[in-house]
Structure 1
Amino acid sequence: MDARLLISLVCVAAAANAPVASAARAFFVFGDSLVDNGNNNYLLTTARADAPPYGIDFPTHQATGRFSNGLNIPDIISEHLGAEPALPYLSPELQGERLLVGANFASAGVGILNDTGVQFVNIIRIGDQLEYFRQYQQKLSALIGDEQATQLVNQALVLITLGGNDFVNNYYLVPMSVRSRQYALPDYVRFIVSEYRKILGRLYELGARRVIVTGTGPLGCVPAELALHSQNGECAAELMRAVNLFNPQLVDMVRGLNRDIGADVFVTANTYRMNFDYLSNPQNYGFSNVQVACCGQGPYNGIGLCTAASNVCADRDAFAFWDAFHPSERANRIIVGQIMHGDTDYMHPMNLSTILAVDREGL
C-alpha cells in the first residue's frame, strides 16, 4: 500500500475516533410544547401533535410531534449551529454517535410546577427531564469517556422554555383553580419564579454552562384566549397582567443567579417583545393575520385541537399562529432571528451570535 494512502487512512480513522472535537456544538432542549419535538409521541397523553395537519410544511410533510406546521424554535436554532436537530430523548434512534448532537427532553404540557398540566396525565415533568439529562450523560460517558462527556456538556448550548403552562394550564385553567385559591397572582408569580430558580440551579449542577432562558410570550393574545375572553380582538387582560408580572421577575432572578455563580451562564430571551413586535405591526413582518389560528375551529380558530377535521389556511406564512397556542414556522423564524441577533432589549446580556463568537475565542 502507498505510504501516503496509509497515512491518509490513519488520519481518517483518528478523526472518526475523536467525536467531540469534530462534532458540531451539542444542543440540549428542556421545556414545554413550544420546544417539544416529539417526546410526547412515545407517551400515553392527549398532549400530542403526531397527526396531520401538524407537519404539513415539515421537510417530510409528516407530523413529527412538533406543535407547528413545520419547524419549531429548536430546529431553527440547530440550523444556525450548523447541526441536525437533536432527537427527542425518548426516540429509540437516540444512541451511538447521535448522542453527540445532544438531546431534546421537552414535553408538551409541562410547567415549572409538578401540578401544571395534570389533565394531560402522562407527560415528562421538568424534574424528570433533568433526571433524563443525567441518564443521558451516563450513556454519553459510556460512548466517549467521562472527561470528553463532561467537556461536551459544558460546551453545549442549552435552551429552556417554561412558564406559560403554569398560567394557562394551572392558575387560569378553571375558575377558582386550586392554585388561584391558594395564591393571589403576585404571590403565585413569586412562587413559580423561586421554583424556577431551583430548576436552573439543578441544570448548572448537571454541567450546563450556556443556557438560554426564554420568558413568556403575550399569552393573552393567543387565539385560544381570544376565543374565550375577547369581544373585539383585544388581548385577555388578566393573562397579560400575569405575563407582565412574571417576565421582569424572571429576568431579575436570572441576573441574581449569574451573580451568585460569577459568570453569565444564563441568558434571558425577551420572547414577549419578540412576539409582540409582529403582533402589533403585522404588516411590517408580512403577516396578514395575527389573531386567527391557521388550524382550528370556532372563534379565531381557537377552540379545541388542530385535527384533520379543522379549518386549515392555505398560506401558512401569512399567519402568525399555527394553532390555538403555537406560532407558525414563519413566526418561529422571526423569534429565532432575534435570539441570534437581537440587541439587549431582546437578549440579555448577549445574543446567541455573540455567545457563539465569544465561546469560539475561548476554546
Structure 2
Amino acid sequence: MAETPSAFFSAVVVTILAVLGGCSAPSEAARAFFVFGDSLVDNGNNNYLATTARADAPPYGIDSPSHRPSGRFSNGRNIPDIISEQLGAETTLPYLSPELRGEKLLVGANFASAGIGILNDTGIQFRLYELGARRVIVTGTGPLGCVPAELALRSRNGQCDSELQRAAGLFNPQLVQILTALNRKIGSDVFVSANAFGMHMNYVANPQAFGFATSKIACCGQGPYNGIGLCTAASNLCPDRDTYAFWDAFHPTERACRIVVNHMMTGSSEYMNPMNLSTILSMDAAV
C-alpha cells in the first residue's frame, strides 16, 4: 500500500536522524552511525515486518550494485548509504537483519521503517544524547508539495502545492530553533539541523541546472506525473534514471540523493546549521 499524502507528511518531518560517535571521545575507531526515519532512509527493515509498505520487488534496486531489490525505496542507494560511503564505512545493516551481529554492530544500525509517523518516536530521538550520542543530524521536511504524488492529486498545472509548501515553511524554522535551544542547554553543538527543504528544492526548482530532464514526473509509476501508487513491475519505467529527480511517487533517485548528501558534507550554514558533516569529521578527528 502506498503512503497516503497525510501519512507522508507526518513521516518525513524527521526523515533521518544520524548519530555519530559513542560515549567516549569520538575517533575513527569509535565512530558508529545510526539511522532513524521512514521510507526515505529505510534500507530493508520492512522486509522483515508484516506490512504492505515494501520495496522488495523489481524494479526497486535496478541500479544498485546487485541490480536487485533490497528494501530500499530507490533505484539504487539511498541517503544513509551515500553518507556511509562518504565516511569510508560499510553501509549500516537493518536492525532486523540476522546479519547484524558481531563486528557488524560496531558500524551502527539502521532503524528506519517505511510508513513510520513522527509521533511514534518523538522524544526517543532527543534522549539519544543521554545514551551517548554526540553528533546528531536531524532533517526537516523536504518540499512536500512538489513530490509527484502531490502533483498528481493536487496540481492542475504542474506547480507545487502551496498549502503543503507553506506547512513545511512553518515547521522547519521552528525545528532549527528547538535544536539550537537544545545545544545551548547541553553546552555543545550536538544537534545539527539539515535543511532538507533547501537541499531538495534546488533541483526541484531548476532540474536542468543539475542535469535532470524533469523534477515533476517520477521515473517509475502510473497516472499523472507517474505519481499514483508506488513502483511495480507493471509501472511505467524510464530508461535513464539519472535524468529523473524522483524515482517513484515519493522518493528521490540515487542521483538526487547524492546531491543532498553533497550539501550535508560541504554545505554552508544555510543547509547545515551550525556546521556541515565535513566540519564535524575534522573536529572529531582532532580530539
- Retained in 2: the 8 A contact 1:23–1:101? no
Which of 120, 127, 133 is residue 202 of structure 1 equivalent to?
A: 127
Mapped partners of 2:277, 2:79: distance in 1: 13
- Retained in 1: the 8 A contact 2:144–2:168? yes
Structure showing the higher helix proportion among its residues: 1
- The answer as to 2:178 corresponding to 1:253 is yes
Show CA shifts across 1:201-229 (max 9, x none): 21112211100111110010000000000
Mapped partners of 2:143, 2:124: distance in 1: 23
- The answer as to 2:211 corresponding to 1:286 is yes
2:263 partner amino acid: Q
User: Mean Cα displacement is larger for which, 198-207 or 321-330?
Assistant: 198-207
- The answer as to 2:36 corresponding to 1:111 is no
Unmatched tracts of structure 2, length 5 or more: 1-25
Equivalent residue runs for 1:224-263 within 5 Å = 224-263=149-188
Counterpart in 1 of 2:51?
Answer: 45
1:331 partner amino acid: A
Identity of aligned pairs, percent?
73
Equivalent residue runs for 1:315-354 within 5 Å = 315-354=240-279
1:256 partner amino acid: A
- Retained in 1: the 8 A contact 2:219–2:236? yes
Mapped partners of 1:281, 1:43: distance in 2: 38
Counterpart in 1 of 2:90?
Answer: 84
Mapped partners of 1:262, 1:50: distance in 2: 43
Mapped partners of 2:126, 2:273: distance in 1: 18
- Retained in 1: the 8 A contact 2:43–2:110? yes
Mapped partners of 1:201, 1:298: distance in 2: 40
Which of 237, 254, 261 is residue 312 of structure 1 equivalent to?
A: 237
- Retained in 2: the 8 A contact 1:294–1:312? yes
Q: CA deviation at 1:199?
A: 3.4
Counterpart in 2 of 1:132?
Answer: none
Q: CA deviation at 1:326?
A: 0.3
Which of 219, 222, 226 is residue 297 of structure 1 equivalent to?
A: 222
2:284 partner amino acid: D
Mapped partners of 2:154, 2:144: distance in 1: 12
Which of 24, 28, 35 is residue 34 of structure 2 equivalent to?
A: 28
- The answer as to 2:157 corresponding to 1:213 is no
1:210 partner amino acid: R
- Retained in 1: the 8 A contact 2:27–2:285? no
For residue 31 of structure 1, give the secondary structure of its aligned residue in structure 2.
Answer: coil
Which of 96, 102, 111 is residue 102 of structure 2 equivalent to?
A: 96
Q: CA deviation at 1:112?
A: 1.4
Counterpart in 2 of 1:156?
Answer: none
Q: CA deviation at 1:280?
A: 1.1
Counterpart in 1 of 2:67?
Answer: 61
Show CA shifts across 1:339-358 (max 9, x none): 00000111000000000000
- Retained in 2: the 8 A contact 1:24–1:83? no
Equivalent residue runs for 1:118-267 within 5 Å = 126=121, 196=122, 198-267=123-192
Mapped partners of 1:252, 1:339: distance in 2: 19
For residue 228 of structure 1, give the secondary structure of its aligned residue in structure 2.
Answer: helix
Counterpart in 1 of 2:15?
Answer: none
1:74 partner amino acid: P
Normalised by the length of structure 1, the TM-score is: 0.71
Mapped partners of 1:207, 1:26: distance in 2: 11
Unmatched tracts of structure 1, length 5 or more: 1-19, 115-125, 127-195
Mapped partners of 1:87, 1:339: distance in 2: 21
Q: CA deviation at 1:330?
A: 0.2
Mapped partners of 1:296, 1:22: distance in 2: 42
Mapped partners of 1:305, 1:21: distance in 2: 41
For residue 213 of structure 1, give the secondary structure of its aligned residue in structure 2.
Answer: strand
Show CA shifts across 1:33-74 (max 9, x none): 111100000001011111100000000001000010000000
Mapped partners of 2:152, 2:93: distance in 1: 34
User: Mean Cα displacement is larger for which, 325-334 or 207-216?
Assistant: 207-216
Q: CA deviation at 1:200?
A: 3.3
Structure number with the bigger relative contact order (C-alpha 8 A, sep ≥ 6) is: 2
Shift in CA distance, 252/21, structure 1 to aligned 2, threshold 3 Å: closer
